[in-house]
Amino acid sequence: MKLVIFTPAKKVSSIGGCCALVSQELVAQGHEVTIVRTEIEGLLKSETHHFGAPVLPWTRTHQVTRVAEDADVLIYQIGDNYDFHKGGLEWLAALPGIVILHDFFLGHLFRAWSDSNRARGVEIVRAWYGEEMVKPFLTHSAPETFIEETKDRAPMIEWVCAMAHAVITHSSWGCERVVNSCAGPVRVVPLTYNKNLGSSLPGGMVYRPPGEKFAILTIGHVNANKRVESVIRALGTSPLLGGHSRYRLVGAIKPETATALTRLAKENGVDLVVSGEVDDGALLRAIEESDVISCLRLPSLEAASGSLVEALLNGKPTIVTDTGFYREIPSSCVMKIRPDNEVADIRSALEALFSDPAQREAMAAEGQRWALQTFTTENYVRELIHTIKDTMKTKPILNAVTYFSRVLAHWSADYDATGNEAIMEPLTIFGSSG
């Protein structure tokens, strides 16, 4: 098959990294792949992942049109970052295809897009969520306030999924809205991820000389939903861990956030190391040197967490928040923290892991075993091919419904053709496998 995949390609994009694995496997299986990178114009010349396929910028309209018209299927990687997905949005609206949905909240993506599409943006919010939800998208409130106002009532995933012929996503917790807005197939497929796999000891365990501090690590962009403050407070209230642990942050962090967290750690007597953003080699060393990785998220908005998958694949004992994607991880593989008892649960979990190396090793080994079986490129590509075949069967139906809906709209009819059995039932002949 000839496939065109619209994706961020910049080296720092984890979505781009996952897509590179998929692209390489598709090419190895004999498919013809073209990558269209989708970042904002200022990022289109940055270094890319290795896709094993030709790469075009989305702004080369004639070339993209030519490969798209010649393709069997168009695939769009979509996440909540406008700087990385601008081009995907532009082309998805014109040439629908399969959407791979990486987040169950697209409010930041939508708000950035609607800055230059204000009238259309108001229409979309009003149509999906009602007049009362228009204001949060028009006012530029603080990120935390904006998320809290919109994450449950107007996550904007319907906006993207309604343009898709099919949707693949990476966990089931947010799928109800996907199913209600995408008329085509919807499939949940575990994320493919093998970045930064190290050669640590079996089960990822670290054996330390007596007296060396217990190493706790958080990786990725440091913001409020990583619950770093709660980890600091948990360590500060633990007589067992207070003088025997070191908490390290590795990932992009704003100077004012680093200052505030350093001050909080000092007030609580916590040994905090803020390393900031590092290269892949330094990140891998930080992972290998850690005893426990904190992958807490609240609110949890992702369809899957690359940092959690990375921790599990490297065989690291991991604590997670018992919500969203993390709730679907087997309890034998991670320690789950209740959102309504966060600080106390973090303290108890870290104390238990500190006091019982055998428990750490068993949990780490089980998590690694499960992750190595689950988050595979081979499985991902197999499920993608199944989705493509299902989409090819349903596409004629969707095209026909779209045509009739446009005719009715031209007649000024307020009408949903997909809800009318008299129209939909005859169209099922297009999906017949016979």
Show me where the domains of the chain are located. Answer: 2-106+155-191+378-386, 202-374
Rounded CA separation 69/36 (Å): 14
Q: Determine whether domain 202-374 maps to CATH 3.40.50.2000.
A: yes
Is residue 324 within 8 Å of residue 302, measured between CB atoms? Answer: yes
Rounded CA separation 353/335 (Å): 9
- The 8-class DSSP code of residue 202 comes to G
Does an H or E element contain 130, and which? none
As given in the structure block, the two tokens for residue 76 are: 């769009």
Q: Which of 337, 406, 360 is nearest to 200 (CA)?
A: 360
Please state the separation of Cα 216 from the chain's center in Å: 24
Note the pTM of the prediction, 2 decimals.
0.86
Q: How many CB atoms lie within 10 A of CB 54?
A: 12
Q: Are 2-106+155-191+378-386 and 202-374 in the same CATH fold?
A: yes
Rounded CA separation 390/167 (Å): 11
Rounded CA separation 143/100 (Å): 25
Rounded CA separation 311/197 (Å): 9
CATH class of the structural domain 2-106+155-191+378-386: alpha beta
Q: How many CB atoms lie within 10 A of CB 392?
A: 15
As given in the structure block, the two tokens for residue 116 are: 């230059």
Question: In tens digits, what is the pLDDT along the chain, a chain of 434 residues?
Answer: 999 999 999 988 989 999 999 999 999 999 999 999 999 999 999 999 999 999 999 999 999 999 999 999 999 999 999 999 999 999 999 999 999 999 999 999 999 999 999 999 999 999 999 999 998 888 777 777 889 899 999 999 999 999 999 999 999 999 999 999 998 999 999 999 765 555 444 455 565 656 689 999 999 889 889 999 999 999 999 999 988 999 999 999 999 999 999 999 999 999 999 999 888 889 999 999 999 999 999 999 999 998 999 999 999 999 999 999 999 999 999 999 999 999 999 999 999 999 999 999 999 999 999 999 999 999 999 999 999 999 987 666 566 555 555 665 566 555 555 555 655 565 555 554 44
In the sheet with 2-7, reading across from the earlier edge strand, the strands are 55-57, 32-37, 2-7, 73-78, 98-101, 166-169, 186-188
Half-sphere CA count of 134, side-chain side, radius 13 A: 12
